Homo-oligomer: A and B are copies of this chain.
Amino acid sequence: MLLRIDQSSTTPLFDQLAASIRAAAIAGSVKAGERLPAARDLAESLDINVHTVLRAYQVLRDEGLVDLRRGRGAVVTDRAARYSQLSAAIDAVVAEARTLELSPDTVAALLREALR
């Protein structure tokens, strides 16, 4: 599992981390039942704060992608498997956005508007 964190980006670190793990779960590079690194360990290896990692884990828990339990850590659920159709739909949007040469911000804003 590749976790990319960009300290210079303006998007919150916990968001970046959650997005990275989420993508890995959907792509299947982390499978259901697998355990994510302990928050303290991951925080150290990424050189960010423990709270930031835990917040990312909590985001994923709210989405139902991981179970979070004391003593055991963060375990990936099987929920990610159900995201395949969504991924396909998103790919279609990405393709359209590229032909129009729209920025990620613009496309994201359009999506958010459509979701309201």
Chain B residue numbers with a CB within 8 Å of A23 are 110, 113
Contact, CB under 8 Å: B63 / A112 = no
Number of copies: 2
* Given contact pairs A93-B90, A100-B82, A63 touches B15 in the complex (Cβ within 8 A): no
Q: How far is the CA of A48 from the CA of B34 in the complex (A)?
A: 49
Contact of A109 among B18, B83, B96 (CB under 8 A): B18
Contact, CB under 8 Å: A111 / B107 = yes
Contact, CB under 8 Å: B83 / A19 = no
Chain B residue numbers with a CB within 8 Å of A22 are 106, 109-110, 113
* Given contact pairs A93-B89, A97-B115, A114-B90, A102 touches B63 in the complex (Cβ within 8 A): yes
Q: Is A45 an interface residue (CB 8 A)?
A: no
Contact, CB under 8 Å: B109 / A111 = no
Contact, CB under 8 Å: A86 / B63 = no
Q: Is A103 an interface residue (CB 8 A)?
A: yes
Shortest 3 CB-CB contacts between residues of A and residues of B:
A86-B96, A89-B93, A104-B115
